[in-house]
A and B are shown apart, each in its own frame.
Chain A
Amino acid sequence: MNLDNWETIIGLEVHAQIISKSKLFSGASTNFGSEPNTQVSLVDAAMPGMLPVINKDCVEQAIKTGLGLNAKINKRSVFDRKNYFYPDLPQGYQISQFTQPIVGEGSIEIDLKDGSSKKIGITRLHLEQDAGKSVHDIEPTKSYIDLNRSGVALMEIVSEPDIRSAEEAQEYVKKLRSILRYIGTCDGNMEEGSLRCDVNISVRKKGDELGTRAEIKNVNSIKSIGQAIDYEFERQTEIINSGGKVDQETRLFDEKKGETRSMRSKEEAHDYRYFPDPDLPPLEFSDDWIDEIKKNLPELPDVKKENLIDEYKISSYDASILVSDKNNVEFFDKIISENKKRNPKNVANWIIGELFALLNKNNLEIKDSPIKAENLGELIDYIEDQTISGKIAKTVFEEMFNTKKRAKDIIEKKGLKQITDKSEIESLIDKVLENNKDKVDEYKSGKEKLFGYFVGQVMQETKGTANPGIVNDILKKKLAK
């Protein structure tokens, strides 16, 4: 079967939990991992007569995010009720935004493996409440409800159906997550559920009209996004190729099996009976407020990347790796800012090369790196001032990583300090030449390959700490005589 002329049309709905002390409409705390039902206010439990009051901090976070997505901020937006019954939805409705969201159209740029970049449109961002959690595995015949999450503020960020592949979808989510982390509006932690993803996907032969889409729920890691899309592409093209029709339905991604399965059909879809929440007046704010938020907005990854390239002459590729995670850039910035003489390219190479290699090998995030920024800076300084050679530095680096010791201590303890004293090196060379008279003769009679042998001997004598440049220079002079 030839799949080359097929096209996948993908749109993503990302639910991002807002970083805020309290919930969207109540004063209850948003701490993750607390004892069940300890972070629940009367409003969150939907007690009779309780009323929602908007948390201004959450609104500000949504505006910040909108600005980070180059999106239109709607100065007037409306909260609606989405009505449905579920045991972990105490009000019997979710407060959301339906027709008039707080943020309108925007876009983000993603970088792809082939070096190209692509703009993905954002349709909208709206504020809504999270539901609580049903726990079914404590007792066989009972379900338990935990309302800690009930009422926590979410941003639903909806993309245009501009995404065409699993790679693009993954890069989109990574980029979105990076933006959210930069501006501090969502921690982007997919394992804890602070960032969740629904995938809308359809396939068509290139040039055809849009196919029927399926909505895939519960796709909660970058890896799952790839798997779910690949699986759906296979499934949908197979259906069409065998003469069938793709059903419009909601499907669930099964992480263990790497498959999607039907959750509910179009006919079973809820009628949510959206209507404006009469407990909440429309959300209205001024240009001044937006401007003020804009002023205090931290640097965004795209801007930071340009700055790295302009200011430090770092390659575009290296720059994009550094900015992909706010923690990377912070690590880099810290090393540079501590000592302005440090060579930014070297610093970038150490982070992207040696440090990432060891972090990946040990499955660690940069924020958990055993080597702190100031210690890596120190090590780089020792190479720069020739205290140690680049080769020795790698050994020291590995030991730093494994033992958390400082470079200085390792160098001193193991005597790794580079020998740069010419007279000391000269006397060492003299000793080596003296002990290898026969080889000196061979060299002089034309066997120039032996030069390396002499260097090796000197290095062995000094356990590799002799400055290789000086060794070469003196050795050449001596052998030329």
Chain B
Amino acid sequence: MDLKKINLEECLGLLKQKKISSKELISFYLKEASENKSLNAYISLNSEMAIKSAEDSDKRISENKARALEGVPIAIKDLFCTKHLTTTAASKMLNNFKPTYESTVTQKLWDAGAILLGKTNLDEFAMGSSNETSFYGACTNPWDEKKKYVPGGSSGGSAAAVAGNIAIAATGTDTGGSIRQPASYCGIVGLKPTYGRCSRWGIVSFASSLDQAGPMTKTVNDAAIMLDVMSGYDKKDSTSANLKETNFYKNLNGNKKLRVGIPKQYKSDQLNNEIIKHWDLGIDFFKKNNCEIVDIDLPHTEYALATYYIISSAEASSNLARYDGVRYGLRKDSNDINDLYEQTRSEGFGDEVKRRIMIGTYVLSAGYYDAYYLKAQKVRSKIINDFKEAFKSVDVIFTPTAPSDAFEQGSKIDDPIQMYLNDVFTVPISLAGLPAISVPMGLSNNKLPLGFQIIGKSFDEDSVFSAAKIIEQNSNFKKG
């Protein structure tokens, strides 16, 4: 048995059958993670606490009191506040910041018996598509460590850790594609749930109307298992949805006859052949599974990227105002309060974060508000409506996750527009608050993974999982 290759479902089975102990498992992954420095997937490891937790889990298992994720090591994006481990958002601003509180999502995981393995790398404050804006340095895609490809972003560390077999499963957050795009680049499964499905309480905010936590796993089943634990109403988050408990794992059905929509607006001329080839292949998989393929229209797709960068930056400019050096985090002292703000924020934030704050401040300014922010809100309504119309005739929508495979580190970092274009297929879904998963389908000519996206109706993660299962079963994608 190769502990490195096991997925979450297998891991739970082994623990339950007492073929391994949680302590062995945790020790193994702590060792793997601490030895594999080259990926730079982790910002911190939970070395001391994790072993103790594993001993507790083993006790519970021996007493037949195991909970849903008893004894399983989980990696957490370093955007979730954790009581016992620093929470940095990969920013100098929060270097060494240790919260006194635990985010709702991570607390749910620990309450289900999961064990915090470590905090994973990300783009600073989750702003980026390559994990290159991290204060702790870039994270590397495990598929080809020599050539230094990006793992995608912002949840690059979580994706690289799962793909690089130094985590069994991880959490990510997705604002405009930050779970799905790195999942695609690293050849794993990544789900952004419906906005409101998982509580945002205790997750460092980037753009409040878009941020959503989700699982990053080796399989579709694993994602469902994780979401069952992570999701649920939280009265501490006013945007969290108060819904009946569901059981995604139990409802998963790989033989569902679905109506699958293919949006014509996603088929641009610039899309390279290997993507189109895999897209067609996926369509065949659905057909083979007696699913109906329906051409659909999402007419406002071309405005989504601009709309997204206006709204997300506007919210970010306000959400990040609290990092002022007054109460916590970095402070550059001065005798003048304005100077203190300037020095602290100049040194504490990296270039990309500053760029977003400036864009956001600009689009909300007097005289520009109507032309940018207000217009973006109107377009957002139209995009939401596009999906509503489309979902009258389909159950899920099938598209590429990203316009390309992973790119080389340094190749786009100086060209924000090229970087932002990576999000072209993921941001419309974020604006509409819909659930979407990225599932790996095959390899590009560079031998890098290509992921495809399945989008569902609001709070219909069940159909998303089922469609993802069809792709997963048929593509027979193998990890490197």
Contacts and interface: CB of A to CB of B under 8 A. Distances in A.
Nearest to B311: A278
B99 A48 contact: yes
B200 A51 contact: yes
Interface string B312-329: 001101101110101110
Given A48-B204, A85-B324, A271-B366, A281 B318 contact: no
B335 interface: yes
B101 A47 contact: yes
Given A51-B236, A51-B238, A53-B238, A92 B208 contact: no
A54 B239 CA distance: 11
Interface residues of B, number: 45
Given A53-B236, A53-B238, A273-B364, A83 B205 contact: no
B321 A51 contact: no
A356 interface: no
A271 to B, nearest CB: 5
B314 A275 contact: yes
A271 B338 CA distance: 16
Interface in A163-218: none
Given A87-B337, A141-B335, A273-B361, A51 B318 contact: no
Contacts of B326: 87, 90, 145
A52 interface: yes
B94 interface: yes
Given A49-B203, A275-B373, A83 B89 contact: no
Dominant secondary structure of chain A at its interface with chain B: loop
B236 A46 contact: no
Interface string A45-64: 11111111110000000000
B391 interface: no
Contacts of A271: 365-366
B201 interface: yes
A279 interface: yes
A45 B322 CA distance: 9
B237 interface: yes
A15 interface: no
A382 interface: no
Interface string A223-237: 000000000000000
Nearest to A275: B364
A53 B341 CA distance: 28
Given A48-B99, A281-B238, A93 B361 contact: no
A326 interface: no
B318 A83 contact: yes
A81 B360 CA distance: 14
Contact of B101 (A42, A83, A277): A42
Contacts of B364: 83, 273-275
Nearest to B89: A48
Nearest to A270: B366
B105 to A, nearest CB: 10
A161 B306 CA distance: 42
B147 interface: no
B324 A51 contact: no
B103 interface: yes
A309 interface: no
Contacts of A411: none
Given A85-B324, A278-B209, A49 B103 contact: yes
A91 interface: yes
Nearest to B360: A273
A48 B87 contact: yes
Nearest to B81: A49
Contacts of B451: none
Interface string A260-277: 000000000001011101
B327 A45 contact: yes
B97 interface: yes
Contacts of B89: 48
A48 B97 contact: yes
B318 A53 contact: no
Contacts of A392: none
A296 B239 CA distance: 31
Interface in A71-126: 81, 83, 85, 87, 90-93
A28 to B, nearest CB: 14
A449 to B, nearest CB: 83
Interface string A4-30: 000000000000000000000000000
A280 interface: yes
Contact of A51 (B237, B328, B365): B237
A43 to B, nearest CB: 9
B202 interface: yes
A133 B200 CA distance: 29
A92 B205 CA distance: 14
Interface string B345-368: 000000000000000010011100
Nearest to B240: A51
Contacts of B361: 273
B305 interface: no
Contact of B204 (A49, A52, A281): A49
B260 to A, nearest CB: 32
Interface of A: 42, 45-54, 81, 83, 85, 87, 90-93, 141, 143, 145, 271, 273-275, 277-281
8 contacts: A49-B81, A50-B201, A83-B321, A85-B341, A87-B337, A92-B320, A273-B369, A278-B207
Report, nearest first, the 10 A-B pairs whose CB atoms are least far apart: A92-B321, A278-B208, A278-B209, A273-B364, A46-B322, A49-B202, A48-B204, A271-B366, A279-B208, A49-B81
Given A48-B81, A273-B366, 20 more contacts: A48-B97, A48-B204, A49-B203, A51-B200, A51-B237, A51-B238, A54-B238, A83-B321, A87-B324, A87-B337, A90-B326, A92-B324, A93-B321, A141-B335, A143-B337, A271-B365, A273-B369, A278-B208, A279-B238, A281-B239
